[in-house]
Amino acid sequence: METLSLAVWAVASAMAVVSFLWAYRWSHPKVNGRLPPGSLGLPLLGETMQFFAPNPTCDVSPFVKDRVNRYGTVFKTSVVGRAVIVSADPDLNHYVFQQEGKLFESWYPATFTEIFGRDNVGSLHGFMYKYLKTLVLRLYGQENLRAVLLAETDAACRTTLASWAGQQSIELKDGLSAMIFDITAKKLIGYEPSKPSENLRKNFVAFIRGLISFPMDIPGTAYHECMKGRRNAMKVLKGMMNERMADPGRKREDFLDIMIEELRKENPVLTEAVALDLMFVLLFASFETTALALTLGIKLLTDNPRVLETLTEEHEAIVRNRKDPDAGLTWAEYKSMTFTSQVTLEIARIANIVPGIFRKALQDIEFKGYTIPAGWAVMVCPPAVHLNPEIYEDPLAFNPWRWQDKMEITGGTKHFMAFGGGLRFCVGTDLTKVLMATFMHCLVTKYRWRVVKGGNIVRTPGLSFPDGFHLQLFPKN
């Protein structure tokens, strides 16, 4: 018995030593240099719980703010089992974007890759990424915006707002999501609400919550809902692709047809898997992020009457200068919206729809005395820059005039990265600006509104409206 007790004690002691060594190595990884300060938290779990803690304000999350105050603008942490360097430093952020493809490459957590597909555009590099970007710009570039999309967006906004005006209440985020999805899905896949794809949008609803989440495919979790939505959406997209591939005489009508043409080439660069994942990403990115930003924008306008009054004056002047007050919005009118452009930038700065932009270090990188080890993830944190009082005076104030007389932002800058930066600056930026400006034009020139209920926000870390934002619209005339 005594011998057995000694054996059990020895095994227990050995396990304790192994556990201690494992925990020590987790929290003290070997690197060729000096890591930024910070904590990697508990083994495997890291600081994931703190990272996902809800934040009911537009301010920088307590997770980032507390660590910046404690460690400085560059610190280490661990989220969902992965060691990460978090950057709230404008200089490092800019450097990361400018060194894309040289010292850094695009990288996202495993949940992101599983949900958007292993061949999604965010996971592709070099020639393949540039090739896909060129294809997407055929749809979202300024030439097509000017020739086609502006008029279609204007018509959709008019029709949608007119239908809302007859209702006692409209939940703005859902209404905007449906409208924008109809616009973009028509151009992407020839979407018609009467076709089997009419339920396609609902498969994307839970994506903001699930993109950076615990990879637990268990019913009830955000990750499970995302994966379920992906499977359903991919089934629809694959069915559409197979149908069109079997019809060689079909004329080009939408972006999916362009994908089919590329796949039919003698030596295609594109594969079916890449094409399907690209369509999937574009469908999501085209409507959800813009709908969230615009919903917050209308809330900010509602809460700031002076901004709303100045915005309304600009748009009413445009209508007065038309020969036909009911004519559709023109490209010249859109480009003349100086204050509207300032409002859009201010909404994007405060909204911070993308709370983190991920890259991976391709080699050991020295920055201000610290080492970012090869293979480590880097999370650029836009909110920490956009809401920094040393960069933007009174950063939580909705003040579009702060952008007055500033140069037009056509790419990410050191102090503004709402649309990313560098090689991967968002190709949908111009479309987003057109959608927001067009909706605001139609809204403020023809309607007034009152808040029925909701409007509270929560960030976990993505933006959401847990109680919705319910409005009632009234025609001005």
Give binding residues for heme as ranges.
426
Q: Which residue in this structure is represented by tokens 């911070």?
A: 352
- With 0-12 CB in 10 A as exposed, 13-18 as middle and 19+ as buried, what is 443? buried
**Cβ within 8 Å of residue 20, ≥6 positions away:** none
User: Is the Cβ–Cβ distance between 349 and 297 less than 8 Å?
Assistant: no
Q: Where are the alpha helices (DSSP H) in 168-271?
A: 172-189, 207-210, 222-245, 255-263
User: Is the Cβ–Cβ distance between 355 and 211 less than 8 Å?
Assistant: no
User: Is the Cβ–Cβ distance between 398 and 300 less than 8 Å?
Assistant: yes
- Integer Cα distance of 281 and 467 in angstroms: 27
Q: Binding site, residues?
A: 426
**Radius of gyration over every alpha carbon of the chain, rounded to an integer in angstroms:** 25
- Integer Cα distance of 113 and 102 in angstroms: 22
- Residue 105 burial (CB count, 10 A): 19
171-209 burial, b for 16+ CB within 10 Å, e for fewer? bbbbbbbbbbbbbbbbbbbbbeeeeebeebbebbebbbb
